[in-house]
A = this chain, B = another copy of it.
Amino acid sequence: MTYCVGFLLEDGLVFASDSRTNAGVDYISTYSKMHVFQPSPDRLFVLMAAGNLGTTQAVLNRIRRDLDRGPAAVVDPEAAPDLRTARYLFEAADYIGRISVAVQNTFAESLRQVGATGEASFILGGQITGQPHGLQMIYPQGNSVIATIDTPYLQIGESKYGKPPLDHIGHTKLSLEDAARLCFVSQVITRRSNLTVGPPFEIAMMPRDQLRISRRLKYAKGAPEITRVVEIWSRTMQEGLARLPRFAWEEDPL
């Protein structure tokens, strides 16, 4: 499994991903799930992937191959947009959705015969000059949804364990740093409760209108930052429990 979360903020975008990949419980490996693309100076994209590793790697390979071709001398106005030619973020999301569906279709029958699926999901965030920064989740079927001020974060993979902190205290006015801490907490508590999510944890911050990743962090297994978050979050919850109202029959502890 995998857990990736992207956060849409007034000030920009934050991305967080784990690096655990597993096929069953006896084939566990480490792959980064966060990929940065800057096909031209007027745009920057971050793509996070969850699901069938064969599919996600094939999608990345095809994106890179398309970019390697370089800009067409004369841009064909009829051609479907790709990462370089998309004028809107949704066009880039559609492009990735199309590739993903094509890859899945290639292997769908052979995977079905062994009871497996090639499904994959993506979170695409970024900005194209002249457009607002944005965040979009691409479903295995190729369609996608955006993050908004009301639903400022998007998750793929093992999303349930880490959702409550995002729901309770996440909002678009957080600083990039606070949102990064919140996404890191969401990752770390997910890892505590589910073996299929694990470090290295990666975080990227992308300030609005700057077309750059301002910070990129990676916390490997055993990193003191991870231990520290677990300690602080445990103590926080301890204190929260102690703060909850007594039942009517209990003596007031104060």
- Asked if A35 CB lies within 8 Å of chain B CBs, one says no
B192 touches A167 (CB 8 A): yes
For window 150-186 of A, CB contacts with B under 8 Å fall at 160-165, 167-169, 177-178, 180-182, 184-185
Closest residue of chain B to A186 (Cβ to Cβ) is: B164
Copy number of this protein in the oligomer? 2
Which one of A24-32, A108-116, A126-134, A224-232 is at the interface?
A224-232
Produce 1/0 per residue, A179-221, CB < 8 A to B. Answer: 0111011000110111000000000000000000001010000
Which one of A56-64, A77-85, A96-104, A245-253 is at the interface?
A245-253
Which of A232, A234, A247 counts the most B-chain CB atoms under 10 A from its CB? A247
The CA of A116 and the CA of B217, in the complex, are separated in Å by 45
- Asked if A65 CB lies within 8 Å of chain B CBs, one says no
- Asked if A233 CB lies within 8 Å of chain B CBs, one says yes
- Asked if A239 CB lies within 8 Å of chain B CBs, one says yes
The CA of A240 and the CA of B232, in the complex, are separated in Å by 7
Q: Given the interface contacts A225-B245, A228-B245, A240-B233, does A167 sit within 8 Å of B193 by beta carbon?
A: yes
Closest residue of chain B to A236 (Cβ to Cβ) is: B240
- Asked if A72 CB lies within 8 Å of chain B CBs, one says no
12 contacts between A and B (CB under 8 A): A160-B193, A161-B161, A167-B193, A168-B233, A169-B241, A177-B250, A180-B247, A185-B241, A215-B249, A229-B244, A236-B237, A237-B240
